[in-house]
Amino acid sequence: MKYNVDEKGYYGEFGGAFIPEMLYPNVENLRQNYLKIMAEPSFKEEFDQLLKDYVGRPSPLYLAKRLSKKYNTKVYLKREDLNHTGAHKVNNTIGQILMAKRLGKKRIIAETGAGQHGVATATVCALMGMECIVYMGEIDIARQAPNVARMKMLGAEVRPALSGSRTLKDATNEAIRDWINNPVNTHYIIGSAIGPHPYPDMVTRFQSVISEEIKWQLKEKEGKETPDYIIACIGGGSNAAGTYYHYLHEENVKIIAVEAAGKGVHSGESAATSALGKEGVIHGCKTLLMQTNDGQITEPYSISAGLDYPGVGPMHAHLHKTGRAEFISATDDEAMNAGLELTKLEGIIPAIESSHALAVFKHKTFKPDDVVVISLSGRGDKDLDNYIKYFKL
């Protein structure tokens, strides 16, 4: 079984490029060039250098001793929370801004939900001196004020998405419309492993530095490159894609994806796409998505804005369908408590997205000699408001 993208842009039956003709020239240009550009020695050198000196990579692989003791297994945390800007998102935006420059683009657009990808995009645009426009749902703008301020400080223009439900899905629609309106000078930095081919593959490759590092870090610490389990939270799935990438074909490594169940998978307020979604087309790719019987895309819910997306990247849809990855889901309550538990046990306040991955211990028991790697995708500073409200701190 092959889990990577094929030459037509599909992961099994998922993926492809379901785009209006207006986007075809840009997407086709990217498709024809992304692998070539990524393989150029000068690109690799610049990318690696920025990841090292600007982002602060490699991110540590940390043996969480007190957490391990509590669950009677061996838990390593991949510390993406220690990256510049506070999450894994910047790995992708560094890669794509370098890509945009080589494609001769002058103007950058992005979508953002909680604002993490928006901040990561505004950051690299400041770094490269490029114009940056970030689309963000009007409702998200109101509830993520600090990130809106960050983006503005970084020189980005934050444009409210006023259509539909005025959240991430609609911000993505607006970014796509902007790209249709500005077909020549603009590059669209998609923040997750979603969108038309080649985006899911490109984003995954930029994020794959995560599993590349885990391999040699684990070799140093455990004498072998492969853990027994590799675990990540999943919304659109960029962090998960990067965390799994170099293990996809290591069949002895068990892959676990933790989705956001919100107030419960069947509560009507959930973002557990693999459980609730059906095959469909959203934002340019065929994947699993939450929708009505009539094919209208429905609004997901999660306490974590980063997991609040009605679809899942096409690679993940394929991993789900083939059974390569085990999909579980964690509720708001389970995630919040897992986040607090990590804070108390290890002195690390995780992003609420990452807290979902940590909630795996509520659903699975591991053996004492299992090596379990969990991707800690981001830090919790941005979520303090939520933590304060939830725990009445």
Partner 1 sequence: MINRIKQKLQEDKKLLSIYFSAGFPSLNDTTTIIQDLEKSGVDFIEVGLPFSDPLADGPTIQESSTIALKNGMTTELLFSQLKDIRKMVHIPLIIMGYFNPMLQYGVEAFCAKCAEVGIDGLIIPDLPLDVYEREYKAIFDKHGLVNIFLITPQTGDERIQQIDAASDGFIYMVSSAGVTGSQSGFDNTQEDYFNRIANMHLKNPQIVGFGIKDAETFKQATKTTKGAIIGSAFIKHLHKEGVKGISTFVKTIR
Q: In whole angstroms, what separates CA 69 from the centre of its chain? A: 29
Q: Does 293 bind partner 1 (CB under 8 A)?
A: yes
Please confirm, yes or no, whether 89 is among the known catalytic residues. Answer: yes
Total binding residues toward partner 1, as defined by CB under 8 A:
35
* Contact with partner 1 (CB under 8 A) among 5, 19, 100, 230: 19
Determine which one of 78, 89, 169, 286 is catalytic. Answer: 89
Q: Of residues 170-199, which lie at the interface with partner 1 (CB under 8 A)?
A: 170, 173, 176-177, 180-184
Please confirm, yes or no, whether 111 is among the known catalytic residues. Answer: yes
Q: Cα–Cα distance between 212 and 244 in angstroms, integer?
A: 10
Cβ-contact 221, 346 below 8 angstroms: no
Nearer to partner 1, 158 or 290 (CB): 290
Q: Does 320 bind partner 1 (CB under 8 A)?
A: no
* Contact with partner 1 (CB under 8 A) among 25, 104, 146, 268: 25
- The single residue listed with the structure tokens 């503005």 is 152
Q: Which has the closest alpha carbon to 240: 341, 326, 136, 362? A: 326
Smallest separation, CB 199 to partner 1 (Å): 14
* Contact with partner 1 (CB under 8 A) among 127, 128, 139, 281: 281
Q: Does 17 bind partner 1 (CB under 8 A)?
A: yes
Q: Does 291 bind partner 1 (CB under 8 A)?
A: yes
* Contact with partner 1 (CB under 8 A) among 12, 24, 101, 138: 24
Using the rule CB under 8 A, give the single segment among 165-173, 205-213, 232-240, 377-385 that binds partner 1: 165-173
Q: Does 30 bind partner 1 (CB under 8 A)?
A: no
Using the rule CB under 8 A, give the single segment among 21-29, 37-45, 215-223, 313-321 that binds partner 1: 21-29
Determine which one of 274, 302, 377, 382 is catalytic. Answer: 377
* Contact with partner 1 (CB under 8 A) among 40, 53, 279, 381: 279
* Contact with partner 1 (CB under 8 A) among 7, 296, 368, 369: 296
Q: Does 106 bind partner 1 (CB under 8 A)?
A: no
Determine which one of 111, 174, 213, 259 is catalytic. Answer: 111
Nearer to partner 1, 146 or 183 (CB): 183
Q: Cα–Cα distance between 81 and 197 in angstroms, integer?
A: 28
Smallest separation, CB 179 to partner 1 (Å): 10
Applying CB under 8 A, the residues found at the interface with partner 1 are 16-22, 24-25, 162-164, 169-170, 173, 176-177, 180-184, 278-284, 291, 293-297
Catalytic residue numbers? Answer: 89, 111, 377
